Chain A
C-alpha cells in the first residue's frame, strides 16, 4: 500500500469539513430579527379603534414617555396562543405591552382575551390590516420595541419566549430603562 493512495482517502473528509463550516456560517445568520425600514423612526400614525374601550381610539400618545412593546397578534395565529402566557408573564413584571389585533374578528379577539387573560394595557383593532402595511408586518406574531420618544427601536418576527427575550429584547430593554 502506497502512502499517497491513503492520503486521497482523506479528501471526502476535508470536503465535508468545508461544507460544515459553510453550514455553520448560515446558522449564525439571524432570520428572526428582521431589519425594519422604521428603525429609529417614529411609529407610523395610529388611528385605530380600541378593542376594550369601545368608542375610543388608540393614538401615538400612548407610547410617549414610556418604553413599550407593540405586539401584533390574532386569534387565527397558532403561535400567538403559544406566546400568550409569556406575554402575561412580562405584563406581570410591569412591562407595558400594547396589542395590535391584526386582520381578526373583533368578537373572537375579545373572547380570546377573556378566556386566556389580558397582558395588554391597550389593544388597537386593525381589521383591514392597513396599519400592518404601514408597519411592514409579515404576519403574526411580531413584536416591536418602542422608545419613550415613540420611535421604533427593534422589530422581532416570531414567537416571543424566554430565549428570544434574553437574546434580543433584554439587551435593548434593560440598558435603556435603567
Chain B
C-alpha cells in the first residue's frame, strides 16, 4: 500500500508541475497577479509530494518488499540498512526519483528565498523549473516507474545491490552530483525567465549568480567523490578514466565554471549578456545530455544503467524540446538585449573572456572525445579515444589558464594600466620559478619540463593569492587580521577556488609523475619494497561479512625498520550475486597513499598482489573540497543576502 501511495504522489506531483508551469506563464502574458502567485505554493507542495514518494520507496527497501521489481533488483534480505537506503538511488528508476526530488528541493529553495527578485520574474523562474519537472516526472512514470510491482510471481529474496555500489562513498556521491547537475536548472530557469521578460542586466546576474555558484560547488564535490570512489573501489588505483559518464559530469562543470566567471562580468559590468545566457542554457543542456548518455545505452560505460531504446528516445525528445526551444528563444530574443559598453584589451573583462574561451574549448574537447565513438559509428570508422587525446588538450589548456589567472585577478575592470600590472608580475614570476624549481629538487628531483612548469605555476598562483590577500587586508589600515575579517566572503570564495585549483594541479602532477606500482606474485612471508616502504605479505585469513565472505590479507608496512601501518586488503564474494569484489586497503597521509589490492589466488598459497605508492593523490580531494567551500562562501556573500528589492515589485 505504501508503494501505491508513493506512486500516487508522483502523479499528483506531475499534476502540480503542470499547474506550476502554465499558470504563471498565462498570468504573465495576461497580467493576472493571482495566476503568478500560484507558482510558489505549487513548488512547495510539489516538494512535499515527492518527499512522500521518496520515503515510500525508502520504506519498500526498509521492509524488504520484493514484490516491487526495483527493490527485488537492487536489494537483498541480508543487505545492511545503510546500503538498503542508498540502494534507493542504486539503479535507474530510483536515481531518477532522487533526481526529480532534488529538482523539487531546488524549487522549494527558490520559492522560499525570493530575495530581491521581482514577483513576475520569480514566478517565471519557478514555471520553467516546473516544465523541467514535467519532463522528468513523465519520463519516470511512463518508462521507469520505481514502484512497478512484479506480481504474482515475485521473488522471495532480492538479487542484491551491485557490490560495487555497496560502499560509503556511493551513499553520498549521487545526491551530491545530482544536486549540482540539477542546480544548473535554476541558472537555466533564470536565463529563460530573463529572456522572456527581456531583463538580463546586472541585477538579473546578481539574482542568478548565487544559485549558479552553489550548484557549481555541489557539482565540484560530487565529481571529486566519484573520482575518490573509483580510486579506492575499483581496485586498480586510477582516479579518472575519461569514461563517458565521468565526461558527462565534467562537461557541465567546465561550462559551469565558465558561467560563474561570465556572470561576474555581467554583474559587475553589465557585459557579455547574451554570452552569459547562452552559457547558462549550455550548462544545463550538458546536464541533460549527460542524463541522456548515461540512460539511453547509446554509449557503453562501466557506470551506465540498463539499456532501453524507449528511454533514450524519450530523453532525446525532451532534450530537443528543452534545448532546441531555449536556443530558439535565445536566437529570437538575444539580439534585442544587446548592450554596448566597451572595455580595453588589457582589463579584467578581457582576461575573463579568455578564461571563458579556454574553458569552453575544454568542454568542446570532452564533448568531441565522448561523442567520437558515436560519430565514428555513423561514419563507419572505429577509433578509440583514450587518455592521450584528452591529456594532449587538457595539460596545455590548464597551464595557460593558470598563467592568465593571476594577471586576470590582479587587473581592474574595464581598463588596466599595463605598467602597473607588469610591476606586480615583475617579482612574482622569477620568485615562482626559483621556488618551484627548488620544490621539485627537494622533493625528489628529475621531472619532465611540463611537470616542472606545472609546479612553478602552482607556486605562482598560490603566492599571488596570498600576497593579494595580505595587500587587500592591510589596505583597511587596521592590521592584517582585523583587515582580513573585513574582506567580503565573495573574495574569500574566489581565493579558495583558485587555491583549490592550484592544489589539485599540484596533486595531479605528483601522482602522474611520481607514483610507483608493482604487480607481484606473493607467498605468505614475502616482502616487497615499493618507494622505500617494505610491504610484508604476512598471511591470509578468512572473514565473514554481513552479506559476503572475504579473504583478507594481512600486510604490515614498515619504513626504515619502523612499522607504519598494517593494511588489510580483501577479496569479497557477495552471497546473493556470487560477484567477487576487490576491496583495496589504503593508508593515507597528507603526502602520499599506500595502496594494496589483492588480485587472484595463483595457486594454493600464492596470490597476485598489487601495490601502489601514490604521492599527492589526497590533494585532489582537498583541492576539490576547497572549490566547494569557496563556492558556498561566494554564494553567501552579504550582497546576496540583502532582501531589499532594487526593483519595485509594483512593476510586476
Give the B-binding residues of A (Cβ under 8 A): 1, 5-6, 9-10, 12-13, 16-17, 19-20, 22-29, 31-32, 74, 76-82, 84-85, 88, 103-104, 115-117, 158-159, 163
Contacts and interface: CB of A to CB of B under 8 A. Distances in A.
B328 interface: yes
Given A17-B324, A76-B578, A82-B73, A23 B335 contact: no
Interface in B300-340: 300, 306-307, 309-310, 312-313, 316, 319-320, 323-324, 327-328, 330-332, 334-336, 338
B577 interface: yes
Interface in B151-175: 152-153, 155-156, 158-160
A20 B319 contact: yes
Contact of B374 (A20, A23, A88, A116): A23
B309 A27 contact: yes
B331 A13 contact: yes
A25 B374 contact: yes
A7 B275 CA distance: 15
A24 B274 CA distance: 29
Contacts of A77: 159, 577
A1 B313 contact: no
B651 interface: no
13 contacts: A16-B323, A16-B324, A19-B371, A23-B292, A23-B316, A23-B374, A26-B378, A32-B307, A76-B578, A80-B159, A82-B72, A82-B150, A158-B306
Contacts of A16: 285, 323-324, 327
A40 to B, nearest CB: 24
A79 B162 CA distance: 12
B78 to A, nearest CB: 14
A32 B330 CA distance: 39
Contact of A27 (B158, B312, B324): B312
B470 interface: no
Given A29-B298, A85-B153, A116-B155, 14 more contacts: A9-B274, A9-B332, A12-B281, A13-B324, A13-B330, A16-B324, A23-B292, A26-B296, A27-B309, A28-B309, A31-B307, A85-B152, A88-B153, A158-B306
B223 interface: no
B278 interface: yes
A78 B327 contact: no
A170 B311 CA distance: 22
B126 interface: no
B475 interface: no
Given A31-B307, A78-B73, A82-B150, A1 B338 contact: yes
A27 B73 contact: no
Contact of A117 (B73, B153, B281): B153
Interface of B: 69, 72-74, 150, 152-153, 155-156, 158-160, 274, 278, 281-282, 285, 292, 296-300, 306-307, 309-310, 312-313, 316, 319-320, 323-324, 327-328, 330-332, 334-336, 338, 371, 374-375, 377-378, 576-579
Contacts, number: 111
Nearest to A23: B316
A24 B374 CA distance: 10
A81 B155 contact: yes
Contact of B334 (A9, A116, A117): A9
Contact of A12 (B152, B330, B375): B330
A145 B312 CA distance: 27
Nearest to B161: A78
B312 A78 contact: no
Contacts of A79: 73, 159
Contacts of A27: 296, 298, 309, 312-313, 316
Contacts of B327: 12-13, 16
B316 A24 contact: yes
A78 B579 CA distance: 12
A80 B578 CA distance: 14
Contacts of B319: 20, 23
A82 B69 contact: yes
> 3 closest Cβ contacts across the A-B interface?
A78-B159, A76-B578, A26-B298
A15 to B, nearest CB: 9
A119 B316 CA distance: 37
A164 B307 CA distance: 12
B353 to A, nearest CB: 17
A5 B309 CA distance: 40
A72 to B, nearest CB: 15
Given A16-B327, A24-B316, A82-B69, A115 B156 contact: yes
Contacts of A24: 316
Contacts of A159: 306
Contacts of A85: 150, 152-153
Given A10-B331, A13-B324, A22-B371, A76 B274 contact: no
B385 to A, nearest CB: 15
